[in-house]
Amino acid sequence: MNLRVETIDGSHVGWDNYVTSHPEATNYHQSPWRRVVERSFGHRTHYLAATDDAGRIRGVLPLVHMDSRLFGSFLVSLPFFNYGGLLADSSEATRCLLRKAGELRAELNAGHVELRHCGNVVESLPSKQHKVTMILSLEKSEEAQWKGFNAKLRNQVRKAEKSGLVPALGGLELLDGFYDVFARNMRDLGTPVYGKDFFRNVLTELPEASHIISVSHNGRVIAAGIVTWFRDTIEIPWASSIADFKSMCPNNMLYWEAIRFAIGAGFEKFDFGRSTPNEGTFNFKKQWGALAVQLHWQYLMEEGKALPELNPNNPKYEMAIKIWRKLPLSLTRLLGPHIVRNIP
């Protein structure tokens, strides 16, 4: 079989048809996320497709080019999300896509190509296994799921209920409350925040596959998250709460409401998102019964070069994080989106 690799535009109907049919496809391989990235951050995307002589797609690789003075030039599949990388029908299609990605890296003078893989690992590529995702297998009913929790977790959910916290499920009408909590939490963590338009674009591009869940106290949102789904799995990639209300356990109510929604909608898995093993968020997710699934971030780069370390644990960012935590919230909401657009 002769294969050729081409860059296809956002209107190519074959892309989503291929993704839908591929057993290893993830939510973020779908074309709406391409539009979310382009409209939210302005990055140039390169969606590569390997096609046969009949024009049928045999493999795909979505890439986003990120280029800044501060963080450098690189390609990622896919930035801002946990998954992406190669989908292919054969080793030949994999080789063709990797070769084209390498040519594109050289053409753009990019330092590396990062592929965010979960199950479909390319054995020949250098990898980092610094992150896991936490997956909970869902029961058929709320009652069965509830019985599987330990007494401490159940008591924390009950405490949230007894504290008068009120959950809500919706869409764009809940965006302002979600963003107020998210921006506050990111500032407190020392992390630049995404612009509100990013989340608006997610909800707009995937209206049938995304929701906001919020938790309020006396009319004020104190915890909120965005859920999105694909096939049998629902994910909560963005969730935050205000630390001042920690004693009321709003986070526990937020995640329980998300799990209840997932069970009611018939999903089989609940993806809590990526974590660093044995750190705080990892342990929080583990208490729900979620199991760690290894993530493999793989790289195309020049031989002899060290793997990139663009993450908050890199010591060279320590001082910047400390300063960010002390900035006024209004300033972090203004500056954050300009910085975070270049952090994958």
Cα separation, 333 vs 323, in Å, equals 15
All residues at 6 or more sequence positions from 159 whose CB lies less than 8 Å from its CB, including other chains: 248, 249, 252
Per-residue pLDDT at 9:
81
Q: Report the DSSP pairing between strands 112-117 and 87-88.
A: unpaired
Per-residue pLDDT at 183:
97
What's the pTM?
A: 0.93
Give the CA distances from residue 128 to residues 79, 291, 292, in Å, rounded to whole numbers and listed in that order: 15, 19, 16
Per-residue pLDDT at 239:
97
Per-residue pLDDT at 306:
81
For the segment 234-248, what is each residue's pLDDT rounded down to a tens digit? Answer: 999 999 999 999 999
Cα separation, 269 vs 99, in Å, equals 35
**Residue carrying the six token digits 């497709």:** 49
Q: Are 225 and 236 in contact (CB under 8 A)?
A: yes
Which domains can be identified in the chain, with CATH numbers?
4-130+296-308 (3.40.630.30), 132-294 (3.40.630.30)
Per-residue pLDDT at 313:
61
Per-residue pLDDT at 314:
61
Ordered mean pLDDT values, 10 residues apiece, the chain (344 residues) = 86 87 95 96 96 94 93 94 94 96 96 90 88 96 97 97 97 98 95 97 98 97 98 97 96 98 98 91 94 95 81 69 90 93 90
Q: How many CB atoms lie within 10 A of CB 344?
A: 22
DSSP notation for 161-218: HHTT-EEEEESGGGHHHHHHHHHHHHHHHT-PPPPHHHHHHHHHH-TTSEEEEEEEET
